Structure formats: structure tokens, C-alpha cells
């Protein structure tokens, strides 16, 4: 498939599916280092639908709160802004990311679960990597595989050939995508992120999450997304058929002075948090 | 009746109608045990090799780690009448990512921890399917003890 076709896909998909406005607005806030948590609350406050969502989530069985949460301020006091941001972002990407992605062997819900897992993992990496922008880490993780949504039908068509190359040539699924289709889901995802005017750091994280060494510019978010993705796939969360045929980049660990046990701890915490988020949405 | 064993979870049963199943084993390891006389089966899906990594987590969820999960699995089967010397043990998982340096080696460490634990306790593994870059599903039929392994859409007895 040629580069001209990549452009076609970007234009067509970019017009068809897009991120909800609220998500775009929140991404803008979390990616601005001068923004405050108060701004996140203000953005949510003026969107009645989201406020209603937050209240419904807070009052769901999972939290088991004794008293009913009646206002956004109550919710923020109880859960904190970062948690509220997570819930809103996860809720508003659910429809787009929950569709089955047959080309990747992902049943309905699997890509969303994987995306939330990577989002939580990236955020958990803030401590060992000494990072502070939790919202940005979460967002990059949540959106890293957005290219799969767009590429799915093309991968599905060429699936036999891609799978054959993965099995016989010992290459990664993304490398097989490049060989058969001419480009990969991270490349396509990066183009979509640009088209949607997402901040540069998120575009980079989406585009280079499979190949951090190729990234130019701000590397930290790319690295965190790569590590969180690797851990999530190892733990078997929403990997689908291509899951473990994933080229891990050891240079990322060295760059941030991280060790294998650091990753194991991230994995353990991520699974626990993912379980909590899932339980929440199941009762929602 | 399908009993789904989640990640960091275990189940035992002597209900002949039950099938224990665990999905998406990546670097995690699935351990299936079966006593053909008592017709008791058990299945564990542990994530990490050693509980010393996070002792509080191991306390609240022993099935998360090899060194706390495996003893818990065996004891739960004994409680249902299984006898150690009769147990047939089968193991699957421990996958790796594509990584020439072997840095992301949770899968290998998971498997080595199990080998060490079994060696110390005189437990033999009768069949195993470990390593590589596969996602695996492991299933144990409690009435027959038949263990089935599924990966890349192929289903084979283990």
C-alpha cells in the first residue's frame, strides 16, 4: 500500500470518527504545564452531561459511599481531581475504543480495557520516572492505540499474510504491518492525533510507542507509554493476536534507571487499579 | 459450568460438571493440578515470581505471586481430598516480548521461580507449554482431568 493511500485513510477516518469534544478540551488542559487541577474541574462543571456522568459514577455501587454525592465539588472532594479526570476520559473514549477490532483479534471491549490499562500504567510510572504530569501520562496511554481503530479493516483484509510473517520471520506485528501495508498503526495513529490537533507530546507518544528510539524531541512521554504498553501486554491485558509479538526497547529502561522489579511493581499495581475501574464501569 | 480464573486468581473444584479456565496468559503462568482418584482439580494464574516484591499485596492476594500462590493452590486442593503424590501437574505461559537483550524477562523469571519451588518440594511437571511470544488459554475439565491449551486459534491437549 502506498503513501497516497495512507493519506486517504487519514482523511476518511479523520472525518468519520473523532474524539469527543470534552476529551479534546481536557487533553488541552492536561498538556499545558501551567494549567491547574482547578481548570479541569471548571471544564467539567460547564458540561452538564459530563457532570451528570461523574455523579452517576460516584454514586454507583462500586464506591459504596454512604452518602449520596450531589455536586461536582462533593465528587472532587471525595475522589480527587486526577481520579475524576481518569473516569471522564475513560468514559468518553469507551464507545470509540470498545468496538471489536477483528484484524487484531480483539473482541468487543478488549481495546478499551487495554487502553485504560496502559493509561493507568503510564500514570503509575510517574513515581519511578519522577514525572509530575499525571493527566498527560494517562491521556497518552489511553490514546496510544488509536491507530488500530482506523487500521483494523485493512489489517483484517491482509491478516493471513501479516500473521504468516509474524510467525515465520520472527518480526513484530507492527513490523509485519509495515511490510504488508506500507505503514503501521502507530504511524497512522500519529497522523490522526495531528489531524485532531492533539498536543505534540501526545502525537509523539502515539507515533513512537512501538519504537521509542526513533522519536525526535520530547522523549519522556514516549518512553512511559512504551513501558506501560509492554507491561500491559506481558500481563495479557487486551493484547489480542499481536500482543506479545512486540519489540521491547531495553534502552528505555536504562535511560530512566529502571529495573525489572520496577516493571513488576507497575504491573501489580496496574492490574489492581484496572480491576477497580472495570468494576466501576460494570456497575455503571 | 465454566469457572473463569482471572489474572492473580485461583480456583479448585471437585464438581464433575465444572471446567476451570484461564485466558490470556502472557508472561504470567497457569498451573493446572489434578488428582485422578479424588477427581479434584485446581487452576492458578499467577503474575509475578516473588512475593517479597510487595508483601502487603501478597497478603491480600496470594495468587498474585508464585511463591505464595502455588502453595495456596495445592492446599486448597488437599482440602477437597486431593493427595500430593497423585497430583498431575501441567504448566503453561511464561511468554516474552521480542527482545534480543532479554531485559523484559518477567516470563522467564516466573517459570524459573516455579521450577525452583517444585524442585524443593519434590513436585514433577508432567506437561508444559512455556516461553515464546504466545498468548495462551488453559482449561481443565474436572470430570476427566483433561487439560487443553489454546493459542493462535489452535486447541491442543496438554
Tens of pLDDT, residue by residue over A94-142, are: 888 999 998 888 889 999 999 999 999 999 999 999 998 888 999 999 9
Q: Which helix (H) or strand (E) holds A266?
A: helix A260-282
Contact B28 A235 (CB under 8 A): yes
Angstrom distance (rounded) from CA A112 to CA A89: 11
Which residues of chain B are at the A interface, by a Cβ-Cβ cutoff of 8 Å?
7-8, 23-28, 47-48, 53-54, 57, 64, 95-99, 101, 103-107, 109, 133-135, 152
pLDDT at B34 over 90: yes
In Å, how far are A57, A72, A78, A241, B136 from A49, measured between CA atoms?
A: 12, 12, 20, 36, 41
Give the span between the Cα atoms of B97 and A245, in whole angstroms.
6
Work out the number of other CB atoms within 10 angstroms of the CB of residue B80. 16
Whole-angstrom CA distances from A38 to A30, A34, A84, A134, A217 are: 11, 12, 12, 14, 29
pLDDT the model gives residue A283: 65
- Work out the percent of chain B whose per-residue pLDDT is above 70: 100
DSSP sequence for B67-130? HHHHHHHHHHHHHTT--GGG-EEEEEE----B-TT--S-HHHHHHHHHHHHHHHTT----EEEE
Q: Which ipTM was obtained for this model?
A: 0.94
Rounded to 5 degrees, φ, ψ at A41 are -60, -40
pLDDT computed for residue A62 by the predictor:
65
Question: End-to-end CA distance of chain B, in Å?
Answer: 21
pLDDT of B99: 81
Of A236, A247, A263, the CB nearest to B25: A236
What is the CA A94 to chain-centroid distance, rounded? 11
Predicted confidence (pLDDT) per residue in A111-121, tens digit: 999 999 999 99
Residue B156 pLDDT > 90:
yes
What is the third-level CATH fold of A3-18+102-282? Hypothetical protein af1432 (1.10.3210)
CB contact under 8 A, A247 and B152: no
Would you give the distance in Å from CA B37 to the centre of its chain? Answer: 20
**Residue listed under C-alpha cell 508472561:** B27
Neighbouring C-beta atoms of residue B48, cutoff 10 Å: 30
Joined together, the cell numbers standing for residue A33 give: 504545564
Region B89-97: mean pLDDT is: 96
pLDDT for the residue numbered A11: 78
Residues of chain A scoring pLDDT < 70: 1-4, 14-17, 61-65, 242, 283-284
**Contact: B26, A244; criterion CB under 8 Å:** yes
- Measure A75 CA to nearest chain B CA, in Å: 28
Under a CB-based contact definition with an 8 Å cutoff, are residues A56 and A284 in contact? yes
Q: State the DSSP string of A121-164.
A: HHHHTHHHHT---HHHHHHHHHHTTHHHHHHHHHHHHTHHHHHH
Nearest to A239 among B57, B96, B135 (CB): B135
Q: Do A20 and A240 form a contact (C-beta atoms < 8 A)?
A: no
Q: Which residues contact A250 (CB under 8 A, 6 or more apart)?
A: B99, B101, B103, B104
List phi, psi (to 5°) of A24: -60, -40
CATH match of B2-157 with 3.30.1330.200: yes
Cα–Cα distance for residue pair A121/A138, rounded to 1 Å: 8
Rg (CA), chain A: 18
Q: ∠ at Cα A111 (A100, A15), nearest 5°?
A: 70
Amino acid at each position: 500500500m502506498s503513501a497516497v493511500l495512507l493519506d486517504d485513510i487519514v482523511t476518511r477516518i479523520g472525518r468519520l470518527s473523532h474524539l469527543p469534544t470534552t476529551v479534546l478540551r481536557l487533553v488541552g488542559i492536561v498538556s499545558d504545564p501551567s494549567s491547574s487541577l482547578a481548570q479541569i474541574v471548571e471544564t467539567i462543571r460547564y458540561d452538564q452531561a459530563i457532570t451528570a456522568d461523574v455523579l452517576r459514577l460516584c454514586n454507583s455501587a462500586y464506591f459504596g459511599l454512604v452518602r449520596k454525592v450531589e455536586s461536582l465539588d462533593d465528587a472532587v472532594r471525595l475522589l480527587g481531581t486526577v481520579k475524576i479526570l481518569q473516569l471522564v476520559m475513560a468514559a468518553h473514549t469507551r464507545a470509540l475504543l470498545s468496538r471489536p477490532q477483528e484484524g487484531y483479534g480483539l473482541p468487543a471491549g478488549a481495546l478499551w480495557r487495554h487502553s485504560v490499562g496502559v493509561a493507568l500504567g503510564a500514570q503509575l510510572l510517574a513515581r519511578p520516572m519522577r514525572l509530575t504530569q499525571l493527566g498527560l501520562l494517562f491521556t497518552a496511554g489511553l490514546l496510544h492505540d488509536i491507530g488500530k481503530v482506523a487500521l483494523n479493516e485493512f489489517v483484517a483484509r491482509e491478516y493471513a499474510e501479516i500473521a504468516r510473517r509474524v510467525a515465520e520471520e520472527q518480526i513484530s506485528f507492527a513490523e509485519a504491518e509495515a511490510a504488508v501495508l506500507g505503514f503501521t498503526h502507530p504511524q497512522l495513529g500519529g497522523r490522526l492525533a495531528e489531524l485532531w490537533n492533539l498536543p505534540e507530546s501526545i502525537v509523539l507518544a502515539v507515533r513512537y510507542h512501538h519504537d521509542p528510539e526513533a522519536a525526535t524531541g520530547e522523549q519522556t512521554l514516549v518512553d512511559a507509554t512504551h513501558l506501560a504498553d509492554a507491561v500491559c501486554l506481558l500481563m495479557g491485558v487486551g493484547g489480542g493476536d499481536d500482543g506479545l509479538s512486540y519489540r521491547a526497547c531495553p534502552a528505555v529502561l536504562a535511560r530512566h534507571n529502571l529495573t525489572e522489579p520496577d516493571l513488576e511493581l507497575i504491573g501489580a499495581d496496574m492490574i489492581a487499579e484496572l480491576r477497580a475501574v472495570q468494576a466501576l464501569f460494570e456497575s455503571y | 459450568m465454566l469457572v473463569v480464573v482471572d489474572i492473580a486468581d485461583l480456583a479448585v473444584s471437585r464438581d464433575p460438571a465444572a471446567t476451570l479456565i484461564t485466558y490470556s496468559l502472557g508472561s504470567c503462568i497457569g498451573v493446572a493440578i489434578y488428582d485422578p482418584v479424588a477427581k479434584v482439580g485446581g487452576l492458578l494464574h499467577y503474575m509475578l515470581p516473588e512475593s517479597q516484591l510487595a508483601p502487603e499485596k501478597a497478603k491480600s492476594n496470594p495468587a498474585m505471586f508464585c511463591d505464595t500462590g502455588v502453595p495456596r493452590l495445592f492446599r486448597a486442593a488437599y482440602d477437597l481430598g486431593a493427595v500430593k503424590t497423585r497430583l498431575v501437574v501441567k504448566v503453561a505461559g511464561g511468554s516474552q516480548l521480542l527482545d534480543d537483550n532479554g531485559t523484559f524477562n518477567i516470563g522467564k523469571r516466573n517459570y524459573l521461580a516455579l521450577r525452583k519451588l517444585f524442585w524443593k518440594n519434590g513436585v514433577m511437571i508432567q506437561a508444559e507449554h512455556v516461553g515464546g511470544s504466545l498468548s495462551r488459554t488453559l482449561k481443565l475439565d474436572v470430570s476427566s482431568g483433561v487439560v487443553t491449551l489454546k493459542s493462535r486459534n489452535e486447541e491442543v491437549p496438554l
